[in-house]
Homo-oligomer: A and B are copies of this chain.
Amino acid sequence: MNFNLARSIEILERTPVVLQTLLKDLHEDWTMNNEGPETFSPYDVIGHLIHGEKTDWRDRTMMILEHGVSKTFVPYDRFAQFEESQDKLLELLLKEFEELRKANLNWLRSLNLTETDFDKKGIHPSLGQVTLRQLLSTWVVHDLTHIAQVSRVMAKQYKQEMGPWVEYFRIMNF
């Protein structure tokens, strides 16, 4: 499948609602547990997505369009949410993510990007040269893989309770 802005926005605009549907009103046993040390709970993932809306995708898109390869992206802090979301209710975080995403997609649409823009380049602090097409594709993949992660983390909370069935679920050892 080739990159396509409209099809990317199809995913990006539904992610906040998907996560609300998946997590709203769930018991904390599902939302606050993780996969072990240094891993994210579903709650942590929402904070991480909020941080991405504030500091990553939009800023890097602007950086590519305005500065090209003459400036390097600011490194992304994958653990910022542990400070930023402190004590906020999951419901509030889900709402905050929805609002930030809506604003960012309105902004993205307003750019009226062309195929030439998608080929423009920027400099990632570790990966080197990347294109806007790659950045926007990664934004979509980042959403989908975090939805997958949230579902997997919740599934793992029942790993001990499944008995012998666990061997049929390769994903439980991921």
Chain A contacts to B: CB under 8 angstroms: 1-3, 7, 10-11, 14, 17-18, 21-22, 25-27, 29-30, 33, 124, 127-128, 130-131, 133-135, 137-138, 140-142, 144-145, 147-149, 151-152, 154-155, 157-159, 161-165, 167, 169, 171-172, 174
Contacts and interface: CB of A to CB of B under 8 A. Distances in A.
What's the number of copies of this chain in the assembled complex?
2
24 contacts: A1-B33, A3-B161, A10-B27, A22-B147, A127-B167, A130-B164, A131-B163, A134-B161, A135-B165, A137-B161, A137-B163, A138-B163, A138-B165, A140-B155, A141-B162, A141-B165, A142-B169, A144-B155, A145-B171, A147-B147, A148-B149, A148-B151, A148-B171, A149-B171
- A interface, by DSSP: helix, strand, loop or mixed? helix
Given A17-B21, A21-B17, A29-B7, A134 B148 contact: no
B7 A130 contact: no
